[in-house]
């Protein structure tokens, strides 16, 4: 898959416009998982903007983001870095070329407490 | 034979203080909109007499849009409030006579809203184009 | 079928002329036929006794005539006003169109006027005479051997069927009893048209308005159309046109005319009464009235002198022209 | 028949790039009335104007059409050109083929076609133009300045200096505004009070200047040269002319615990108070919400101690009516509320303050007498974190902040940081910045000194979160250049809050019919060429009400506004806009519809005698328009059913001619 295509796909699925970023770093300042991450939220934004997506997709940072959305809440420019992280995760999943989960896998994974909504969103996220 | 592409003719009445300046700003920012839109400058949207609108339709305009300052921001304090009432009544009447209501519009565009001006014109031109030629109000003698 | 009789009116007019209260009387006189009643100015008791007419065809609204006649007469002029005429009377006063001091207004009750078109629908053409015998009209025609009896209610004009008020809102003296404002169904026809599709409405109006011969009777009879010079007669207005050249111009004429009287029209119905082509012009005016009532609150032009017409008024919270149609969609 | 000349401008390539100007000139040659048509690179240049002048003379032109940029740009220029050549300036029409044609269309064919149509419309209109002569109205030689901050003060002083009387209306009990609250001023570090208070005294002593303090503008009527203004002088319950400002009442007042507005609520003041020592007028004011006498009728102590007998509990609001020739708006700014910025813990900790509060903390006349002490416990802070751009430069859809740069924060933060390091060298000072913007004389040098000489730690990055913990403020921030997240234990956090126009500006703009932008800053008549004038004639802008400004800029704009006012007041008569409504008496019905829609009350009625057929006459009521009052909106022309009312310059026939030309 070509680099531009992935970039476009990420921008499209996240709905984020990284050009709005004014590089203030408030996202990284606010991030509770900062020290766990190799690439920090502000870097996510600028790397996606530059099409530098490969390293992001291979980075563990992806899974260190807690999706707490503090960066989204506090970004003065409404850039929404967490949505980009989410979109890169999705790109990784989709690149694996197969479904992460099948319907048959589900019964053993869930317990009674799992809300249905979570199942639906997991399906959306982890299947092609 | 080449089929002549249908181009709607749109007359836009713009108040001098807000909307005409908004149109200028759209120009300053090079925001494109169809050349089908022709602007007539009036001091205030309340200068637009229903006769002008009907005349435009009579002479073959396909859509007429009136742009003024936002309510409350009229350069003349209250002109656009009168516009709002007059045009509400007139548009409702045109609709009552079976004339497509999409052909007439009032839009408030401030001097700072160049982007809104361009977007409005693009959208209005498209709407009018989708209606096709204005057949219901035109004077057939005036059509080429 | 009118409760008040010709004799009573003549007696009143003669009395007022004789004691010098008024120097002229604005009243009805016979035209070519019994049913084409003509407005007339009577200057003496003899003229009144001889030519004054009062019957079911005396629909003419005299308030407009005051604009011209008050200037021509020394002293006061007597005018008989039916309830609906009083609204026009007030509206003209609001617009300073005549001097109230020069008018002696006598309010007279009205039981509804007849529409000759409706009579013709029943008896056919060739009407030579119509006699009123209280409950019905005795119509003689060229082609029938015997006069036909027509129920007065059956030939009542549309505007009277949907009468909006039997109350006089202006008078110096009242003959008979005053009535009340009526909850009429006058907007039903407008609502029926509104419920149609735009295409149906267009066909309806195309059909109606294409009959217009631009005789200007509607304008000339309209008590709101009292302009010194009508824009359509004024070469400087750039929209001057006196005869319909095609289907557009009569539309333009009727839309502009309705717009010019919007907020000022009292819904007296004179436009439709005088239209020789029977175009329901009052529907255009009623559409404006209905809209104005719905958009800006109930307003009856002429209900009081000095009220501010809705189109020369505003609030900062008025609905947007685009919302006019959203409202319609919700209704539908 | 007119003899029309058409002049098509290339505007370099601005027009000629998308419009075939020669083709436009050629096409318009065939329009009715056109006797001359040409094109030129720059019609607005001297050479271009000469072409017009020569053509007027040579071809005996009675009207001209210039196909060029927007009339808002150069209509006045070409009108002057026409006038210089002896042609009535109102015989000029502009076809806007730049902003509304060449700049918005890309294709040469389309652009040219449209330009021709726009040109035709202008020719059609000019054929119906008539020469117009502006009316004249007298000028009231008195100016009103709304707002008594440094902008208002400077404007008033400059106007008074030219010999014209000026009134200042200030809502607060004293003039001085924000500058009076400041400690030192960048980049020279002058003490604000030392340079401001002499000016305040000048104002008080200038016999041309009247100060209406504790007052508000209630109503504005009239028009340029002739404004009628109602000013509400709020009751201060102290007779201004008798009070000596001795302060005995202030000392004795028992109701001492009221937040002191002047110190931003960081200390208290009594119910009767003088905002600060150098207040002008130095007169006490009673806060009616705090005074026991006014609330419950019990106390009266201040009246007893006042030797001058100035206290008057029965005082009422007073309305003053005055006429003015010009109005200057100088309503200034306020820091935005920090309510929505939870992350900085402004509402949770007293030690998170705004820069204006910091200013009071370091001011010798402030709540701590100039000692830098933490508001919570009075300890001196050892680590101070300054956060820039709080609420500035936000996204347009952000509900928290403003889209614009507040302009002054970079410099005052540098000033605060530098002064702190200077006075308390053992303090660690961090400044978190996104960009440091220092365009201004000696500004960048100042900032560099803060870093290089005073050791202020500038960190590129933003603070994400401030958490109060014990007596510390845990500051979590990013350092973008070293790609680290920082955790600093601070004693004091200072937020450089964005600034916004004063809340009074919006209603005032409505009263003045002056326009505002979406941020409630007043708009100028032209962003570059007329920066101190409002588009509303006779209304001028001074200071931060027009946009964020520092003191030097405010003062220069104040002076510029004053010079514009002086230019206006120096005239004995104003020539008005001749494009006003007029009523054709022969057609007027006297129905009053026009009068009801006129926003200016310009229409009156008179009874006139008219000749009628057969040697009779008739007296009719007809409308007449006062051309000095009419502003030419045209509301009346549509309200008029007979079409008797028309607008000069935008007549029914002219607009319809344009419609016809466009729809042909």
3-state secondary structure D628-650: CCCCCCCHHHHHCCCCCEEECCC
Residue ranges making up the domain that contains B94:
10-133
Instruction: Please state, in angstroms and rounded to a whole number, the distance separating the CA atoms of residues D519 and D547.
Output: 9
Which residues of chain D are in CATH 3.50.50.60 domains? 143-234+317-332+502-569, 334-500
Contact B32 D663 (CB under 8 A): no
What's the mean pLDDT in D151-155?
A: 97
D608 interfaces chain C, CB cutoff of 8 Å: no
* Cα dist from D266 to D147, D149, D261, D368, D374, whole Å: 24, 22, 8, 9, 11
Contact B92 C291 (CB under 8 A): yes
Q: Strand D581-583 relative to strand D645-647: parallel, antiparallel, unpaired? A: antiparallel
Cα D501 off chain centre by:
9
Fold of domain D143-234+317-332+502-569: FAD/NAD(P)-binding domain (3.50.50)
pLDDT of residue D244: 94
Of the candidates A28, A34, A77, the beta carbon closest to that of D394 is on A77
| Residues of chain A where predicted confidence (pLDDT) is lower than 70 | 1-3, 97-101, 122-128
Whether the predicted pLDDT of D627 surpasses 90: no
Contact D480 A78 (CB under 8 A): no
pLDDT of residue B1: 46
* DSSP type of residue D608: E
Nearest C-alpha of chain D: how many angstroms from A2?
29
Peptide bond connecting D187 to the previous residue in cis, omega within 30 degrees of 0? yes
pLDDT of residue B60: 87
| Residue D586 with chain C: CB contacts under 8 Å | 228-229
Chains with ≥3 Cβ pairs under 8 A against A? D
* Class of domain D581-648 (CATH, top level): alpha beta
Contact C77, C68 (CB under 8 A): no
Please report which helix (H) or strand (E) contains residue C213, including its range. Answer: none
Contact D462 A22 (CB under 8 A): no
- The residue among C275 and B135 whose pLDDT is bigger is C275
Instruction: Please state, in angstroms and rounded to a whole number, the distance separating the CA atoms of residues D291 and D287.
Output: 6
Which residue on chain D is closest to A79 by alpha carbon? Answer: D395
| Residue B82 with chain C: CB contacts under 8 Å | 311-312, 314
How many residues are given for chain B?
144
The model's confidence at residue D324, banded by pLDDT at 50, 70 and 90, is very high
Residue of D341, D387, D485, D495 to mutate when probing chain A, most A C-beta within 10 A: D485
CA atoms within 13 A on the CB side of D493: 32
D194 interfaces chain C, CB cutoff of 8 Å: no
Which residue on chain D is closest to B48 by alpha carbon? Answer: D638
The model's confidence at residue D165, banded by pLDDT at 50, 70 and 90, is very high
Q: Strand D326-329 relative to strand D539-541: parallel, antiparallel, unpaired? A: parallel
pLDDT of residue C235: 78
Bridge partners (DSSP) listed for residue D34: D4
Which residue on chain B is closest to D119 by alpha carbon? Answer: B38
Contact C252 B92 (CB under 8 A): no
Contact D480 A76 (CB under 8 A): no
Domain ranges, ordered by start, for chain A: 3-97, 100-128
| Residue C322 with chain B: CB contacts under 8 Å | 105-106
CB count within 10 Å of CB D552 equals 15
Instruction: Please state, in angstroms and rounded to a whole number, the distance separating the CA atoms of residues D367 and C324.
Output: 59
User: Is the domain covering D334-500 a CATH 3.50.50.60 domain?
Assistant: yes
With H, G, I as helix, E, B as strand and everything else as coil, classify residue D277. Answer: coil
Contact D635 B78 (CB under 8 A): yes
Nearest C-alpha of chain B: how many angstroms from D225?
17
Whether the predicted pLDDT of B144 surpasses 70: no
Q: Which of residues 72-111 of A touch D (CB under 8 A)?
A: 73-79
Residues near C46 by Cβ (< 8 Å), separated by ≥ 6? none
CA atoms within 13 A on the CB side of C157: 26
Least confident range from B112-121, C294-303, D531-540: namely D531-540
Distance between the two ends of chain D, CA-based, in angstroms? 21
Structure token pair of residue D158? 């400059």
Helix D46-59 vs helix D71-84: crossing angle, to nearest 10: 50
Of the candidates D104, D579, D647, the beta carbon closest to that of B31 is on D104
Contact D559, D552 (CB under 8 A): no
Contact B96 C312 (CB under 8 A): no
Nearest C-alpha of chain C: how many angstroms from B4?
25
Nearest C-alpha of chain B: how many angstroms from D141?
24
Chains B and C, touching by 3 or more CB pairs within 8 angstroms: yes
Contact D480 A42 (CB under 8 A): yes
Instruction: Please state, in angstroms and rounded to a whole number, the distance separating the CA atoms of residues B120 and B12.
Output: 11
Of the candidates D397, D464, D483, the beta carbon closest to that of A26 is on D464
- Of A63-67, C131-135, D219-223, D351-355, where does the model show the most confidence? D351-355
Q: How many CB pairs under 8 A join B and C?
A: 122
CB count within 10 Å of CB D248 equals 16
Contact D485 A74 (CB under 8 A): no
Contact B84 C312 (CB under 8 A): no
D561-598 as b/e: b if 16+ CB within 10 A: bbbbbbebbeeeebebbbbbbbbbbebbbbbbbbbbbb
pLDDT in tens, D476-509: 999 999 999 999 999 999 999 999 999 999 999 9
Instruction: Tell me phi and psi for residue A111, to 5 degrees.
Output: -115, 175
Q: Looking at domain A3-97, what is its CATH homologous superfamily?
A: Alpha-helical ferredoxin (1.10.1060.10)
| Residues of chain C where predicted confidence (pLDDT) is lower than 50 | 328-332
Interface predicted TM-score (ipTM): 0.76
Nearest C-alpha of chain B: how many angstroms from C76?
38
Chains with ≥3 Cβ pairs under 8 A against B? C, D
Furthest-apart CA pair in chain C: how many Å? 67
Cα C89 off chain centre by:
11
What's the CATH code of the domain at B18?
A: 3.40.50
Instruction: Please state, in angstroms and rounded to a whole number, the distance separating the CA atoms of residues C34 and C32.
Output: 7
Instruction: Please state, in angstroms and rounded to a whole number, the distance separating the CA atoms of residues D419 and D188.
Output: 12
The model's confidence at residue D628, banded by pLDDT at 50, 70 and 90, is confident
CB count within 10 Å of CB C183 equals 7
Give how many domains chain B has, as a whole number.
Answer: 1
Burial class (CB in 10 A: 0-12, 13-18, 19+), C106: buried
Instruction: Please state, in angstroms and rounded to a whole number, the distance separating the CA atoms of residues B92 and D211.
Output: 54
Contact D656 B31 (CB under 8 A): no
Q: Which of residues 217-246 of C touch B (CB under 8 A)?
A: 231, 238-239, 245-246
Structure token pair of residue D216? 């508000």
Whether the predicted pLDDT of D629 surpasses 80: no
pLDDT in tens, D6-28: 999 999 999 999 999 999 999 99
pLDDT of residue C225: 92
Contact D592 C96 (CB under 8 A): yes
Instruction: Please state, in angstroms and rounded to a whole number, the distance separating the CA atoms of residues D477 and D483.
Output: 11
% residues pLDDT > 90 (chain D): 87
DSSP string for D196-224: HHHHHHHHHH-TTEEEETTEEEEEEEEET
| Residue B49 with chain D: CB contacts under 8 Å | 637-638, 652, 655
Whether the predicted pLDDT of D623 surpasses 80: yes
Contact C228 D589 (CB under 8 A): yes
Contact B84 C205 (CB under 8 A): no
Which residue on chain C is closest to D592 by alpha carbon? Answer: C95
Which residues of chain D are in CATH 3.30.70.3270 domains? 581-648
CA atoms within 13 A on the CB side of C120: 9
Answer yes or no: is B109 within a domain.
Answer: yes
Contact B55 D660 (CB under 8 A): yes
Residue of D584, D586, D587, D606 to mutate when probing chain C, most C C-beta within 10 A: D587
* Class of domain D4-126 (CATH, top level): alpha beta
Contact C160, C145 (CB under 8 A): no
The model's confidence at residue B139, banded by pLDDT at 50, 70 and 90, is low
Of the candidates A26, A29, A76, the beta carbon closest to that of D398 is on A76
CB count within 10 Å of CB D396 equals 10
Contact D650 B43 (CB under 8 A): yes
A125 interfaces chain D, CB cutoff of 8 Å: no
Contact D99 B27 (CB under 8 A): yes
pTM above 0.80, yes or no: no
Contact D587 C96 (CB under 8 A): no
Instruction: Tell me phi and psi for residue D106, to 5 degrees.
Output: -105, -25
pLDDT in tens, D429-474: 999 999 999 999 999 999 999 999 999 999 999 999 999 999 999 9
Of the candidates D587, D591, D618, the beta carbon closest to that of C234 is on D587
pLDDT of residue C1: 65
With H, G, I as helix, E, B as strand and everything else as coil, classify residue D545. Answer: helix
Instruction: Tell me phi and psi for residue D631, to 5 degrees.
Output: -105, -5
| Residue A31 with chain D: CB contacts under 8 Å | 464, 485
Contact C97 D590 (CB under 8 A): yes
A22 interfaces chain D, CB cutoff of 8 Å: yes
Of the candidates D587, D618, D620, the beta carbon closest to that of C229 is on D587
Nearest C-alpha of chain B: how many angstroms from D636?
8
pLDDT of residue C131: 85
Instruction: Please state, in angstroms and rounded to a whole number, the distance separating the CA atoms of residues D200 and D152.
Output: 11
Contact B101 C205 (CB under 8 A): no
Instruction: Please state, in angstroms and rounded to a whole number, the distance separating the CA atoms of residues D500 and D335.
Output: 6
* Cα dist from D276 to C112, D169, D193, whole Å: 81, 19, 11
């Amino acid at each position: 898959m070509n680099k531009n295509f992935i970039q476009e796909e990420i921008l499209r699925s996240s709905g984020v416009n990284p050009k709005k970023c004014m590089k203030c770093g408030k996202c990284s300042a606010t991030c509770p998982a900062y020290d766990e991450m190799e690439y920090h939220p502000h870097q996510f934004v600028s790397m996606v903007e530059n099409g530098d997506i490969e390293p992001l997709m291979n980075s563990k940072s992806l899974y260190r983001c807690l999706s707490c959305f503090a960066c989204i809440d506090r970004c003065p420019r409404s850039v929404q870095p967490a949505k980009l992280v989410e979109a890169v995760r999705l790109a990784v999943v989709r690149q694996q070329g197969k479904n992460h989960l099948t319907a048959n896998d589900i019964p053993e994974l869930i317990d009674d407490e799992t809300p249905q909504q979570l199942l639906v969103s997991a399906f959306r996220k982890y299947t092609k | 034979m080449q089929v002549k592409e249908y181009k709607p003719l749109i007359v836009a009445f713009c108040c001098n203080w807000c909307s005409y300046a908004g149109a200028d700003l759209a120009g300053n920012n090079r925001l494109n909109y169809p050349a089908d839109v022709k602007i007539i400058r009036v001091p205030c949207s309340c200068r637009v007499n229903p006769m002008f609108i009907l005349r435009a339709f009579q002479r073959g305009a396909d859509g007429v849009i009136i742009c003024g300052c936002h309510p409350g921001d009229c350069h003349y304090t209250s002109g656009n409030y009168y516009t709002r009432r007059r045009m509400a009544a007139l548009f409702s009447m045109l609709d009552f006579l079976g004339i497509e209501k999409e052909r007439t519009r009032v839009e408030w565009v401030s001097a700072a809203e160049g982007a809104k001006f361009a977007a409005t014109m693009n959208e209005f031109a498209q709407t009018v184009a989708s209606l096709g030629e204005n057949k219901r109000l035109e004077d057939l003698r005036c059509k080429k | 079928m009118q409760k008040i009789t010709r004799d009573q009116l003549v007696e009143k007019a003669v009395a007022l002329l004789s004691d010098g209260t008024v120097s002229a009387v604005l009243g009805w006189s016979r035209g070519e036929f019994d049913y084409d009643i003509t407005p007339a100015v009577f200057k003496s008791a003899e003229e009144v006794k001889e030519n004054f007419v009062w019957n079911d065809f005396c629909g003419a609204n005299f308030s407009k005539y005051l604009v011209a006649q008050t200037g021509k007469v020394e002293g006061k002029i007597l005018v008989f006003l039916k309830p609906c005429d009083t609204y026009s009377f007030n509206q003209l006063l609001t617009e300073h169109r005549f001097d109230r001091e020069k008018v002696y207004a006598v309010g007279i009750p009205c039981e509804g006027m007849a529409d000759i078109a409706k009579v013709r629908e029943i008896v056919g053409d060739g009407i030579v005479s119509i006699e009123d015998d209280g409950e019905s009209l005795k119509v003689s025609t060229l082609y029938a051997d015997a006069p036909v009896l027509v129920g007065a209610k059956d030939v009542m004009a549309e505007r009277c069927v949907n009468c909006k008020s039997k109350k006089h809102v202006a008078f110096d003296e009242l003959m008979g009893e005053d009535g009340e404002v009526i909850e009429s169904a006058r907007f039903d026809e407008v609502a029926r048209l509104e419920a149609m599709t735009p295409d149906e409405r267009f066909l309806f109006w195309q059909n109606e308005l294409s009959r217009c011969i631009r005789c200007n009777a509607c304008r000339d009879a309209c008590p709101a159309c009292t302009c010194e010079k009508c824009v359509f007669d004024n070469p400087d207005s750039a929209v001057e046109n006196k005869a319909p050249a095609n289907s557009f111009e009569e539309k333009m004429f009727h839309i502009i005319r309705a717009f010019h009287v919007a907020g000022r029209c009292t819904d007296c119905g004179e436009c439709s009464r005088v239209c020789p082509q029977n175009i329901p012009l009052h529907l255009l005016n009623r559409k404006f009235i209905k809209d104005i009532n719905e958009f800006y609150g109930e307003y009856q032009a002429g209900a009081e002198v000095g009220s501010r017409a809705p189109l020369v008024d505003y609030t900062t919270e008025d609905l947007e022209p685009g919302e006019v149609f959203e409202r319609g969609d919700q209704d539908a | 028949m007119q003899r029309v000349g058409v002049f098509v401008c290339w505007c370099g390539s601005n027009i000629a790039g998308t419009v075939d100007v020669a083709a436009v000139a050629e096409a318009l040659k065939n329009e009715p009335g056109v006797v001359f048509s040409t094109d030129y690179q720059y019609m607005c240049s001297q050479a271009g104007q000469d072409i017009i002048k020569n053509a007027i003379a040579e071809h005996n032109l009675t009207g001209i059409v210039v196909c060029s940029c927007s009339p808002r740009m150069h209509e006045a220029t070409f009108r002057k050109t026409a006038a210089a050549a002896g042609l009535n300036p109102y015989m000029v029409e502009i076809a806007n083929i730049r902003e509304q044609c060449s700049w918005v269309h890309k294709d040469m064919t389309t652009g040219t076609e449209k330009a021709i149509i726009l040109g035709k419309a202008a020719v059609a209109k000019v054929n119906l133009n008539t020469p117009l002569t502006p009316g004249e109205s007298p000028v009231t030689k008195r100016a009103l300045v709304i707002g008594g901050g440094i902008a208002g003060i400077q404007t008033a002083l400059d106007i008074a200096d030219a010999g014209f009387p000026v009134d200042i209306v200030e809502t607060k009990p004293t003039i001085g505004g924000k500058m009076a609250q400041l400690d030192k001023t960048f980049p020279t570090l002058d003490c604000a009070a030392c340079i401001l208070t002499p000016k305040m005294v000048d104002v008080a002593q200038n016999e041309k200047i009247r100060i209406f303090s504790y007052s508000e503008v209630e109503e504005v009527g009239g028009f340029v040269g002739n404004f009628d203004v109602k000013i509400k002088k709020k009751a201060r319950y102290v007779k201004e002319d008798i009070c000596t400002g001795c302060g005995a009442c202030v000392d004795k007042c028992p109701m001492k615990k009221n937040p002191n507005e002047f110190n931003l609520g960081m200390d208290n003041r009594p119910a009767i108070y003088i905002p600060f020592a150098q207040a002008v007028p130095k007169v006490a004011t009673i806060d009616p919400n705090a005074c026991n006498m006014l609330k419950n009728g019990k106390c009266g102590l201040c009246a007893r101690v006042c030797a001058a007998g100035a206290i008057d509990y029965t005082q009422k609001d007073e309305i003053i009516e005055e006429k003015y020739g010009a109005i200057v708006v100088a309503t200034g700014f306020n820091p935005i509320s920090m309510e929505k910025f939870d992350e900085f813990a402004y509402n949770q900790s007293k030690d998170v303050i705004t820069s204006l509060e910091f200013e009071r903390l370091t001011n010798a006349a402030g709540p701590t007498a100039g000692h830098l002490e933490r508001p919570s416990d009075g300890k001196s802070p050892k680590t101070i974190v300054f956060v820039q751009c709080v609420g500035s430069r936000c996204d347009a859809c952000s509900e928290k902040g403003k889209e614009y740069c507040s302009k002054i924060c970079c410099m005052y933060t540098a000033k605060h940081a530098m002064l702190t390091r200077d006075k308390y060298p053992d303090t660690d000072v961090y400044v978190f910045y996104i960009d440091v913007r220092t365009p201004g004389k000696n500004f960048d040098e100042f900032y560099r000194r803060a870093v290089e000489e005073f050791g202020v730690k500038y960190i590129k990055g933003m603070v994400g979160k401030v958490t109060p913990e014990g007596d510390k403020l845990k500051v979590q921030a990013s350092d973008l250049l070293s790609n680290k997240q920082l955790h600093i234990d601070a004693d004091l956090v200072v937020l450089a809050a964005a600034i916004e126009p004063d809340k009074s500006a919006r209603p005032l703009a409505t009263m003045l019919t002056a326009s505002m932008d979406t941020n409630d800053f007043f708009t100028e008549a032209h962003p570059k060429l007329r920066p101190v004038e409002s588009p509303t004639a006779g209304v001028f802008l001074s200071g931060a009400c027009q946009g964020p400004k520092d003191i030097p800029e405010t003062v220069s704009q104040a002076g510029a506004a004053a010079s514009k006012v002086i230019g206006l007041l120096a005239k004995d008569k104003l020539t008005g806009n001749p494009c006003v409504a007029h009523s054709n008496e022969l057609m007027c019905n006297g129905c009053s519809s026009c009068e009801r829609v006129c926003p200016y009350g310009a229409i009156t009625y008179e009874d006139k005698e008219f000749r009628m057929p057969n040697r009779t006459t008739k007296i009719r009521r007809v409308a007449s328009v006062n051309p000095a009052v009419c502003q030419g909106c045209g509301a009346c022309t549509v309200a008029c059913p007979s079409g008797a009312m028309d607008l000069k310059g935008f007549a029914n026939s002219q607009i319809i001619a344009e419609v016809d030309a466009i729809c042909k």
